[in-house]
Copies of this chain bind each other. A is one copy, B any other.
Amino acid sequence: MKLRIFVTLKPGVLDPQGRAIQHALGSLGFDGVNDVRAGKLIEMDVADGTDDAAVDRMCRQLLANTVIENYRVERA
């Protein structure tokens, strides 16, 4: 079973990587980029019987820092 896990910074958390991308796009001549936020995409292939609770624990224990990050799981 394929999973896609999106890990994004919570709103309000400073994102230096996103800010750097935004500035670099401006330097390259791309106007109108108002905001950039950088996050992670983790694609996993897990055993078919894996339940939602286990995936949730994976995210909380390892994949996301829930103090500053949100995560969303999508089953593909």
Q: Which residues of A contact B (CB under 8 A)?
A: 6-8, 18, 21, 24-25, 28, 30-47, 49-50, 54, 57-58, 61-63
Taking a contact as CB atoms under 8 Å apart, the answer to whether A49 and B35 are in contact is no
Taking a contact as CB atoms under 8 Å apart, the answer to whether B21 and A63 are in contact is yes
Given A21-B62, A30-B58, A61-B28, verify A6-B36 contact (CB < 8 Å): no
Taking a contact as CB atoms under 8 Å apart, the answer to whether B40 and A38 are in contact is yes
Query: Which residues of chain B have C-beta atoms less than 8 A from A61's C-beta?
Result: 28
Given A31-B47, A62-B25, verify A39-B36 contact (CB < 8 Å): no
Closest B residue to A31 by beta carbon equals B47
Taking a contact as CB atoms under 8 Å apart, the answer to whether A36 and B30 are in contact is no
